[in-house]
Amino acid sequence: MSKEFIKQLIVKPGKKVHLSKYDPDDTFGWHKNKKTKASVEKAMATLDKRQYLLYAEHKRALLIVLQALDAGGKDGTIQHVMSGVNPQGCQVTSFKVPSPEEAAHDFLWRVHKAVPAHGYIGIFNRSHYEDVLVVRVHKLVPKDVWLKRYDQINDFESMLAANGVKILKFFLHISKEEQKKRFLQRMDDPDRRWKISEADFEERKYWDDYIAAYEDGLTKCSTKDAPWFIIPANKKWFRNLAVSHIIAETLEDMDMKYPAPTIDVSKVKF
């Protein structure tokens, strides 16, 4: 598969990110049509085939990290992009407010436990980055504590990579106007009203603070071992196109091989 999406959307290590320079409506010349639908289906077919190979080889794992502001599309991405994946080989972990047990450990403790085993795909719906996002914005720990976490995160992800875990991190970039539109759509939909809370509207007051926090996380923690991708996500169809291609292309690049059979099949008799 072409690697155009990786080249266009990756945050190169050391690059200072200013999200105002990234258009959340961008589609890089793609349009919502039959060609795009076919391209998504091709990427998903590749993902399905490569997941089977990943499981058979059983030497590596793939960790997908999804981060976004509220209503950014994390759930939708999982639902649409991973719909063809065998659920036996895929696990989704949603990180919410730490439990008392989790809070009594270092911030990476609960995250390490959720890292996928070799042969599996793991998806983080929110992640360890919450500890340099919401924790920073709401001043839940002192600045000198969360400042150290960027290096701690990089060291953690480097260690995972050295032990066979391929990491892809996606920031689903939506505009403040698009977030408001999605909130209103949820309020008008009886089947989705449950997803709206007072906290969602309260958090909008901190939009600029979250953007600044994301910019620092994207700048400081996009590495060769664990790159960030900024996905224009105002248009859900383009979000699905880009994410599906990047995952499929990454799995193809892993150059996985089927293991040798444990028996000499030429000598098997029935």
DSSP state letters, 42-70:
HHHHHHHHHHHHHHHH-S-EEEEEEEEST
Contacts of 264 (CB under 8 A, 6+ apart): none
Q: What's the pLDDT tens digit per position in 178-220?
A: 999 999 999 998 888 888 888 888 999 999 999 999 999 999 9
Given a cut of 70, whether residue 169 has pLDDT beyond it is yes
182 token code pair: 């999605």
* CATH of the structural domain 44-255, one choice from 3.40.50.2300, 3.40.50.12280, 3.40.50.300, 1.10.10.10: 3.40.50.300
Tell me the C-alpha distance between 226 and 150, whole Å: 13
Q: What's the pLDDT tens digit per position in 46-87?
A: 999 999 999 999 999 999 999 999 999 999 999 999 987 888
Tell me the C-alpha distance between 256 and 57, whole Å: 7
Residue 63: HSE in the Cβ half-sphere, 13 Å Cα cutoff: 28
Tell me the C-alpha distance between 238 and 116, whole Å: 27
In contact, 10 and 228? CB cutoff 8 Å: yes
Contacts of 235 (CB under 8 A, 6+ apart): 25, 27, 32
Q: Which of 256, 247, 255 is nearest to 3 (CA)?
A: 247
Q: Quote the DSSP letter at residue 262.
A: S
What per-residue confidence (pLDDT) applies to 269? 78
What per-residue confidence (pLDDT) applies to 2? 64
Tell me the C-alpha distance between 179 and 204, whole Å: 9
48 token code pair: 């399905």
Tell me how far apart the terminal alpha carbons of the chain are, to the nearest angstrom: 41
Q: What is the pLDDT averaged over residues 107-134?
A: 98
What per-residue confidence (pLDDT) applies to 1? 56
Contacts of 89 (CB under 8 A, 6+ apart): 51, 52, 54, 55, 119, 120, 121
Tell me the C-alpha distance between 183 and 110, whole Å: 30
